Structure 1
Amino acid sequence: MYTHEKQFIQAGKLAAHAKKAVILLHGRGSTAQSILSLQRHLQLEDVLLLAPQANNNSWYPYTFLAPVPNNQPALDSALELVDAAVSEAIKQGVPAAQIYFVGFSQGACLTLEYVARHAKRYGGVVAFTGGLIGAELDTANYQGDFAGTRILITAGDYDPHVPLQRIEGSAVILREMGADVKVEIYPDKPHSISADETLLANEFIFG
């Protein structure tokens, strides 16, 4: 049962001219179009951009800290939509090692959950304010080897939606799966994406 239609905006370079693909996942209450505005701040030249759109602008109904069954079937449907975007990039000739992920807030949580369930060598992963999903983290859900993939997780020190403890716990699991994880926590940062965060993403992931 799907709760999300298989729809995403394609932008940036045509696949024939793209060296990389970036999958961008918007936050709750936002849109694929709005997350695409990050292309003005990230180094995304010669890149195929794919931005899936959540039904009703929300990937799953409750907080990402709720028990996973509470967010079903929306969560599984959202993960399938991300997988469809990955498949589209590969179909257009971009190998997994050149596929990047960028998500904010609810989209950042979905980003980390997807890559942890499908770990392999990706181009890189950026989670602007996010962590792995569930009341408890069940490592049985996660499989594969990141083979050194760089993952950047950023957040404010007292974010109202994403507690620091979950970010740190997520980083431990991702490192155990072979990722090169960088966590950057900013004092008093509001629940948004700052210029400092995009600069760091350019340095650590896209540089």
Structure 2
Amino acid sequence: MSTSIQTLRWVPESGQPEQLFVLLHGVGANAADMGPLAEHLRREFPQAAVLAFDGFEPFDGLPAAQVGGARQWFSIQGQTDATRVARLEPVLPTLQAAVQAAQQAVGLGQQATCLVGFSQGAILALELAQRYDGLVGRVLAFAGRYATLPEAAPKQTTLHFFHGGLDPVIEVQHAREAMQRLADVQGDATIDIAEDAGHEINGALLMRAVFRLRNHIPHRSWRAALGQAPDMPSQGLEALD
């Protein structure tokens, strides 16, 4: 794994950043592929700083001469549910350190930070939030899944799942199962499904992501306002036409 982390940065045109988005691409892509998503977030949240990391390894799904800028967070060659967990292990501490360095660089704390992952990047974002509860305030997981369903929910991080109903790469059932588990363990989570979408971030899901960011009040904020009342249940399914 490379120790040099390549990063693309977008910052507000003026003034100090008020939010930090950290974007994690899918397997075989790179930070530059997250550019359109970064620009959309900047339009919706002009005072946000947006960072996109390159995956830590060259993509090994192509002959070396064809790799170019393709990256991965971990190899999917011969991957099974068991090996996925093991392959994540060395990545998580490095990514945690990178996120913390980004927070320090822009002068923002954990609760002002949102991890946004697509596919393999979403897997990594979910596992990072599970391992280091409170490292970020929110996770937007597009077309992702847990490596293994959690036994307990993070208490300081809100999780938002976005999935295509026709996703042939990571089936939508993984998102539904994650949502059910998080409801069982009183996690703070939402789910939006675009029934006609595949393995993608389409316009409908992106609109819902912005809606969730603007309108979902984290349960920890409710608990603080109500004097540490009991945990509220996760929000239910939202299906999009």
Cα offsets for 1:155-195 (capped at 9, x unmatched)? 11231121223212222344456543111112221211111
Q: Find the counterpart in structure 1 of residue 10 from structure 2.
A: 12
1:27 counterpart residue number: 26
Q: Distance in 1 between matches of 2:170 and 2:163?
A: 8
Partner of 1:49: 50
Partner residue in 2 for 1:145: 155
Question: 90, 93, 101: which is aligned to 2:103?
Answer: 90
Shift in CA distance, 34/6, structure 1 to aligned 2, threshold 3 Å? same
Q: What is the CA–CA distance in structure 2 between the aligned matches of 1:65 and 1:172, rounded to whole Å?
A: 25
Shift of 1:122: 3.6
Secondary structure at the residue paired with 2:90? helix
**Equivalent residue pairs, number:** 198
TM-score when scaled to structure 1?
A: 0.81
Aligned residues with identical type, % of pairs: 24
Give the Cα separation in 1 of the matches to 2:137 and 2:178: 19
Aligned to 2:208: 200
RMSD between aligned alpha carbons? 2.8
Unaligned runs of 5+ residues in structure 1 are: none
- Please give the residue correspondences for 1:125-204 in structure 2 after superposition, counting only pairs within 5 Å: 125-134=139-148, 137=149, 139=151, 144-146=154-156, 149-175=157-183, 179-204=187-212
1:36 to 2:46 alignment: no
Partner of 1:78: 91
Shift of 1:40: 2.2
Mapped contact 2:85–2:147 kept (Cα < 8 A): no
The range that moved more, 195-204 or 62-71, is: 62-71
Range moving further from structure 2, 60-69 or 114-123: 60-69
Shift of 1:111: 0.9
| 1: CA distance, partners of 2:144 / 2:184 | 18
Q: Which runs of 5+ in 2 are unaligned?
A: 59-70, 216-241
Shift in Å, 1:152: 1.6
| TM-score under structure 2 length normalisation | 0.71
Q: Is contact 2:139–2:158 with CA below 8 Å preserved after alignment? A: yes
Amino acid at match of 1:34: D
| Aligned-partner residue type, residue 21 of structure 1 | L
TM-superposed CA distance for 1:115, in Å, is: 0.7
Q: Which has the larger radius of gyration?
A: 2
1:71 Cα deviation from its structure 2 partner? 6.0
Q: Secondary structure at the match of 2:192?
A: strand
Higher relative contact order (CA closer than 8 Å, sequence separation 6+):
1
- Any conservation in 2 of the 1:112–1:132 contact (CA below 8 Å)? yes
Distance in 1 of aligned mates of 2:170 and 2:7: 27
Q: For the Cα contact (< 8 Å) 2:8–2:31, is it kept in 1?
A: no
Shift in alpha-carbon separation, 1:7–1:175, aligned structure 2, 3 A: farther
Alpha-carbon contact 1:171-1:183 (below 8 Å) kept: yes
Q: Tell me how far apart the structure 1 counterparts of residues 180 and 109 of structure 2 sit (CA, whole Å).
A: 27
What is the rounded CA distance, in whole Å, between the counterparts of 2:77 and 2:202 in structure 1? 23
The AA in structure 2 aligned to 1:62 is: I
TM-superposed deviation, 1:125: 1.5
Structure 2 counterpart of 1:103, which letter?
A: G
